[in-house]
Amino acid sequence: MSGQLISFFRLALPRTAAILLAAALVASCATSTEVPQAQAPGHSPSVAADVNIERIVLQAYRAIGDRHLYQPDFRALSAETYRGFADADPALSLETSDAAFSVKRDGREVMTRATPTDTSDGRAWGGMLAELLAGSMASSPALQASDRQALIRQAMAATTKQLDRSSRYADPEEARDNRFQRGGGGGIGITVERTDEKRIMVRAVQAGSPSAKAGLQAGDQILAINGELMVDRPLADVVRHLRGTVGTPVTLTVLRPAQGRELTFGMKRGRIIPTTVVYERRGDVALIMLSGFNTATTDNLRTAIDKARAEIGPSIAGLIIDMRGNRGGLLDQAQAVAEVFIGDGTIFSTQGRHPDSRRTYKSSNPRKIDDLPVVVLMNGGSASAAEIVAAALQDRGRAVVVGSTSYGKGTVQTVVRLANEGELILTWSRLQAPSGYTWNELGVLPSICTAKIGDMGQFGTTLVDANQSTLMRWHALRNPTSQEVTDLRKICPPGDSSPERDIEIASRLLRDSTLYAHALQAGAYQAARQ
C-alpha cells in the first residue's frame, strides 16, 4: 500500500513565551503567547481574523533583525519581499536606489519612500516596506482580488529564500500540523493513508488512544466521519474532521475488508501526542525506533527500555537506537534523550548572534542508563535533534554510530508565531558537539560506515581503525570550506534507505564486546583529546 501518510491530532499549545526546537521541518522559540482555539468538529479551520499583511511583515522583520543567525541586509531583503508579494500583478514594479524605493504600476509612480540608512535595522525597513505594500494593495485590483493568505505566503517565501536553507514560512494550516507534532492535541490517535486507489485507510492505531479503545484496526477503510462521506476526499478534509476539542464526540464508519462489512465506532476525542518511540525485540537485542522528538519522546524511550529489560532479562546484549530518517524535533527533548545515557558533562552547545542563543547544555542526570551497550543507526535522512544525540553519544564514548553520514543540519531554529497563525521559522544558532566541531552541512560521520562493508567477513577492527583517522579529521574541522565538506561526505555518502543489514551489523557489534569497545574508543578519540 502506498500513499501519503498523515497523523491526525490537534494541538492545544501551552501558554509559553518560548519553545526551543532543533529540526529540519520544525524548529525553535515561539514568541506568541496566544493559544489557538480548537475548531468545531467537522468544520474547516477558520482563517485567522488578522491577515493584515503589513502587520505580519513588520513582525517578521523585527524577528529577523533580532534573531537570525546572520546579520541581514534588509535593503536586498525588502526588495525580494516586495517582488514576492507583488507577483500576482505583473503591472507593478519596484525601482530601488540608495536613497529610495519607488513603486510603479504600468510605468506610473504609485508611491516613493526614503530608505533607512541602516541596512541592519529590521524595524525601520519593515515599516517602510509595510507602507509600500499598503500603497500597492490600494492601487492594484489584482492584489485586492487575491487571497490574503496567498499574498502573505508569497511575500514570506521570497523573504526566507534569501536567508538560509533552513529558514522558511509555514502557512496557518501547516503551522497547526507543526504544533501538534511538537506537543500533541485533540484527536483520536490514528495514522491514515490515502492509497493509489484514493481510499482513506487506517495505517496505524495508537495504543491506549480513543480509537484503540473503540475497536478501530489498522487496515480499516474510512467511509464517513459524523455521517459525512470521506470517500475520495483529500487528506486535509479528513484532518479537519478528525481533529477537534478534547472530549468532543466523533463517529467513524469504516469498511473492514477482513469481515467484508461496514462498522460504526463512536468515541470522544482525547489528547494525543504522536508516537515517536517503537520498541521491537530482536532476540537478545532491543531495537528502539526513534522517529522524532516531541514532548513525550524521552518518557516513552525510558518506558521502552524498561520494557526491553523486563522482556529480554539479564541476557540483554544492548540497545539499537534507530534514528534513520529522523528529521528532528524539540531541542529540550534532544538534550533529555542524550541525558538518558550521559550522566554528566557537556552534551552540546549553541552559538549565534542573539545573546540567548549562546549556551552550553550539560547533563547532571543521576538516572542515566550506563550498563547497556548502545548502537545508534543513522542515514542521510537523520537530521538536527537526531544529529545532536548521535554526535553527543559518539563524542562522549557512550554509543557507536553505525550507518551512513547524516543530513548535516547543525543549526537551531526559532519559530515566530505570526498574527495570521502562521509561523516564521528562522535559523538562530549553530550547534557544536562536545568536542567542539560543528556538523552543519558536514553531517555526523558514523564510526562504522555500512556502505564500506561488502560482506560480513570484512566486519572487524580493521574497518574501525581505517575509519578512525577520518573521524579525527572530521572532528578537527571548525569552519570547513564547501570543497572540504564535499570531499569528506564522499567518504561515507549519505543514503536515504534503511536496510535491514544495518540492524544486523549493529546486532553483531553488540554481541561482540571486544569489537564494540574498540569502536566505542575510536569514535570518542577526538572528544577525549579536546
Q: Are 166 and 27 in contact (CB under 8 A)?
A: yes
470 burial via Cβ count (<10 Å: 0-12, 13-18, 19+): middle
Q: Are 223 and 262 in contact (CB under 8 A)?
A: yes
Distance set, CA 123 to CA 57, 58, 65, 442 (Å): 10, 7, 8, 34
Q: Exactly one of 384, 404, 406, 507 is catalytic; which is it?
A: 384
Catalytic residue flag (residue 118): no
CA–CA separation, 346 and 343 (whole Å): 10
Distance set, CA 485 to CA 325, 378, 403, 488 (Å): 21, 18, 18, 5
Q: Exactly one of 32, 395, 502, 507 is catalytic; which is it?
A: 395
Those residues whose C-beta lies under 8 Å from the C-beta of residue 158, and which sit 6 or more positions away, are: 80, 81, 83, 84, 85
What is the SS3 assignment for 372? Answer: coil
What is the SS3 assignment for 68? Answer: coil
Return the residue matching grid coordinates 533607512: 116
Catalytic residue flag (residue 146): no
Those residues whose C-beta lies under 8 Å from the C-beta of residue 5, and which sit 6 or more positions away, are: 191, 192, 193, 203
Return the residue matching grid coordinates 539499537: 320
Q: Is 35 left (phi over 0), alpha (psi -120 to 50) or beta?
A: beta
CB atoms within 10 A of CB 33: 12
What is the SS3 assignment for 188? Answer: coil
Q: Are 458 and 505 in contact (CB under 8 A)?
A: no
Backbone angles phi, psi at 140, to 5 degrees: -120, 110
| Strand-pair partners of 479 | none
What the block records as the C-alpha cell of 177 is 500540523
Sign of the torsion formed by the C-alpha atoms of 60, 244, 27 and 82: negative
What is the SS3 assignment for 374? Answer: strand
Q: Exactly one of 409, 429, 502, 507 is catalytic; which is it?
A: 409
Distance set, CA 16 to CA 30, 34, 75, 91, 520 (Å): 8, 9, 33, 44, 40
Which DSSP symbol is given to 11?
A: B
Length reported for the chain: 530
CA–CA separation, 474 and 394 (whole Å): 13
Catalytic residue flag (residue 384): yes
CB atoms within 10 A of CB 262: 12
Which are the catalytic amino acids? Answer: 384, 395, 409
